[in-house]
Amino acid sequence: MLAFARETKLSETTFVQAPGQVCADYRNRIWTPAGEIPFAGHPSLGTAVAVARRREESLAAYVQQTGAGLQPLEVEADGDRAHASMIQSEAELGAEVAPAAAMAAVGLEDGDAHPGLAPRVVSTGLPHLIAPVAAQEALGRCAPDYEAIEALLAPLGAFNLHLVWADAEAGVARMRGFMREGGEDPATGSAAGPVCGYLGERLGMPGLRLEITQGVEMGRPSLLHAELVDGGVRVSGTVIPIIDGVTSF
């Protein structure tokens, strides 16, 4: 599986297996080119659509088993694309980080940090360091230092550093994600849930809904919807199949 993930050179590659728990429909093992991770958002949505296509189901509800537990998913096909949603766990808020350290790791100044929202490790299945910025334009000035990002994230047990600007009242957010192993991620579903959960808790908005854009600066724009619901965070988006293949030996 690791060799295959390295060959694809994609952010994540998933492998669908028989479930190990009776209440799950399938097991989803998720790999980056560096190794297996317990949970991820986009690979969960995409895999659910792939399963529905394989089973020829245009409307489906599944429970996937991952290293982070069980997650319910729903799929609705619409021609050559599908809409998928999942319920991530409630956001767990971990350690706070000095704003200056988070900003320095991506080439920004201390004053670019949001004055009222400290960088913090947040997880709905995979820990990310969420670092809010005061102004959206700061996202365009990032110059990530991946050695500094690795040094910052490793002691925290966090996988990625995500800078986020949000207008919670308007329900919109913009995000950039820098991976600990190097490189920028154009879309991170496992960070959309933590961003929504963190902002909802800190801003006192238990019903917060966000439309989150990411990857714009890379020329690979993505769009996700995140919503706080009872028991967790619903994360949803559009999935478009690109390639089907068959392996024969």
Burial 189-227 (b: 16+ CB within 10 A, else e): bbbbbbbbbbbbbeeebeebbbebebbeeeeeebebbbb
Read out DSSP for the chain? Answer: -HHHHHHHT-S-EEEEE--SSTT-SEEEEEEETTEEES--SHHHHHHHHHHHHHHT-SEEEEEEEETTEEEEEEEEEETTEEEEEEEEEPPEEEEE--HHHHHHHTT--GGGB-SS---EEEESSSEEEEEEBS-GGGGGG----HHHHHHHHGGGT-SEEEEEEEETTTTEEEEEEEETTSSEES--HHHHHHHHHHHHHHTT-TT-EEEEEE-GGGT--EEEEEEEETTEEEEEEEE----------
Confirm whether 12 is a catalytic residue: yes
Of the candidates 12, 74, 184, 227, the residue annotated as catalytic is 12
The set of catalytic residues is 12
